[in-house]
Amino acid sequence: MRDQTTMKKLTADDPESRSPDLVAENLERLKALFPELVTEGPNGVAVNVDVLRTLVGESTVTDADEKYGLSWHGKRRARQLALTPSTGTLRPFPEGSLSWHTTKNLMIEGDNLEVLKLLQKSYAGKVKLIYIDPPYNTGNEFIYPDKYEDNLHTYLCYTGQINDAGFTVSTNSESSGRYHTNWLQMMYPRLRLARGLLRDDGAIFVSIDDNEVHHLRMVLDEVFGPENFIAAIIWQKVFSPKNTAAYFSADHDYVLVYAKNREIWTPRLLPRSSETEARYTNLTRSPSLAHFV
């Protein structure tokens, strides 16, 4: 059972129409820690980079092009997208819901980037587990630029994702010239916002296949920190070889697991059943083995 919430657009002057201003919040945190770091700039409040170099050491601040990490054209814009406030709001939809007054479940219909921004106001730092199954970027899913000046239907038409009949028409093919860039541009701000929703003892699980697993691992390293990597879980998706495979028959995909803080995150374990115990021949040597959930 579920209740349903949809998004509507309000005017920019409405106090409830915007998600939290993450840039302003970050500046306030910096100012609280290092008052001398925040100063007046040509466009308002700004961070004094010279002071930053003094506070943390000259060698630790760099704007060099050659540095370790994953880079792509438009990465700076992807960072900005995560920080740009949303102008939408969530509107309850009781008439399209089941057990509106009693259910504890919630389904939100809307663009996930805008919804993630709106959720920051009520759920930042409160979510224990996030699981996402993003597009695998196989060339068949749509990947789109982010533009929110209009309502969602107009936006989808504007970006070529749907035609007049309402069918999805756009794809991210390898011939586009921005095959990986489009995918990274879509994923980066969403992962940034997802991290903001997690509790300190929370974790995120992300499904992916061979096509982008290497890029996703590097993006997650940047967003969550490589020290918070937990595991790359392999799960078997097919149980017989594909005779149509040109080279090798791929039989598995991945689930990448990152903690918000590895030092305090612990997996939740289930007691072993008689069926799982039957797999072991020396139970006394491994009494703590259990199933993850």
Tell me, yes or no, whether 266 lies in a domain: yes
Strand, coil or helix: 26: helix
Q: Identify the CA nearest to 161 among candidates 143, 184, 147, 175.
A: 143
Domain count, the chain: 1
State the pairing for strand pair 44-47/106-109. unpaired
DSSP code, position 273: P
Q: What is the pLDDT of residue 100?
A: 87
Strand, coil or helix: 197: helix
- Whether 52 and 37 have beta carbons less than 8 Å apart is answered as yes
Tell me, yes or no, whether 235 lies in a domain: yes
Residues with Cβ within 8 Å of residue 173, at least 6 apart in sequence: 139, 179
For 113, what's the count of Cα atoms within 13 Å in the CB-facing half-sphere?
Answer: 23
pTM metric for this prediction: 0.72
DSSP assignment of 64-120 equals -S--SS---TTHHHHHHHHHSPP-EEEEE-GGGSSSTTT---EEEES-HHHHHHHHH
**For the domain that residue 53 is a member of, what is the CATH number?**
3.40.50
Q: What is the pLDDT of residue 230?
A: 97
Tell me, yes or no, whether 212 lies in a domain: yes
Tell me, yes or no, whether 93 lies in a domain: no
Tell me, yes or no, whether 103 lies in a domain: no
Tell me the residue range of the domain where 57 lies.
21-84+110-292
Going residue by residue through the chain (293 aa), what tens digit of pLDDT does each one get? 344 554 444 444 555 546 777 777 887 887 787 777 777 777 777 787 777 777 677 766 666 666 678 888 888 888 888 888 887 888 888 888 888 888 888 888 888 888 999 999 889 999 999 999 998 888 766 555 565 444 555 556 655 556 666 655 556 666 555 778 888 999 999 999 999 999 999 999 999 999 999 999 999 999 999 999 999 999 998 888 888 888 888 889 999 999 999 999 998 888 888 888 888 887 665 445 555 44
Tell me, yes or no, whether 138 lies in a domain: yes
Q: What is the pLDDT of residue 11?
A: 45
Tell me, yes or no, whether 95 lies in a domain: no
Phi, psi for residue 108 in degrees, rounded to 5: -110, 130
Strand, coil or helix: 231: strand
Q: What is the pLDDT of residue 106?
A: 86
Q: Would you put residue 153 in left (φ > 0), alpha (ψ -120 to 50) or beta?
A: alpha
Distance of CA 86 to the CA centre of its chain: 16
Q: What is the pLDDT of residue 86?
A: 84
Q: What is the pLDDT of residue 171?
A: 61
